[in-house]
Each structure stands twice: as structure tokens, then as C-alpha cells.
Structure 1
Amino acid sequence: WYAVNVLLTLLVVHRTSNIMHNVIDKWTDKYYDMRYINTDKS
């Protein structure tokens, strides 16, 4: 049962880290888009 718990924990951590990476990627994309648009206008 210990091995099963470790596997489940690893899976959950892996999924949450993937979701966090996706959110950070989207946020940085928006941030850089805004910076790019601002510099492009000026």
C-alpha cells in the first residue's frame, strides 16, 4: 500500500506541476504580448 500511495502522490504532484507550468506559460505570453504591443505603439 505504501508504494501505491507514493505513486498516487507522484501522479498528483506531476499533474499539478504541469497545470502550474501551463498557467505560467499563458501568463508570460500575455505579459510579453502587452510589452510588445506597448513598445510597438511607441
Structure 2
Amino acid sequence: MVKFKLKIIKLILHTELTNFLSSLSSILGPIGININLFFQEY
């Protein structure tokens, strides 16, 4: 049960981070896109 909760928390954090990076990339343009691609590889 605890592991399941952790999975949900990780999923939410990942979604928030992705949304945050998307916002950043739209602000920063090419630099933000490069950062986004860099994070997607890991």
C-alpha cells in the first residue's frame, strides 16, 4: 500500500515537473526545449 502511494506521488511530481518544464520552455524558447529534451532522456 505504501509503495502504491509512493508511485502516485512520484507520478504527480513527474507530471508537475513536466508541466513546469513545458512552461519554462515556452518562456525560454530553444534553451528551455533543450532542457526539456535533456530531462526526458533520464
Bin for the TM-score computed over the shorter chain: 0.5 to 0.7
Query: Deviation digits for residues 1-42 of structure 1, max 9, x if unmatched?
Result: xxxxxxx00100000000000000000000011011xxxxxx
The answer for the alignment partner of 2:22 in structure 1 is: 29
Counterpart residue identity of residue 24, structure 1 = L
Look up the SS of the partner of 2:14 in the other structure: helix
Which whole-Å CA distance do the structure 1 matches of 2:23 and 2:7 have between them? 25
Which whole-Å CA distance do the structure 1 matches of 2:10 and 2:23 have between them? 20
Number of aligned pairs?
29
Percent identity, aligned pairs only, is 7
| Structure whose CA Rg is larger | 1
What is the alpha-carbon root mean square deviation over aligned residues?
0.4
Quick check: which one's helix share is greater?
A: 1
Give structure 2 stretches of 5+ with no counterpart: 30-42
Give structure 1 stretches of 5+ with no counterpart: 1-7, 37-42
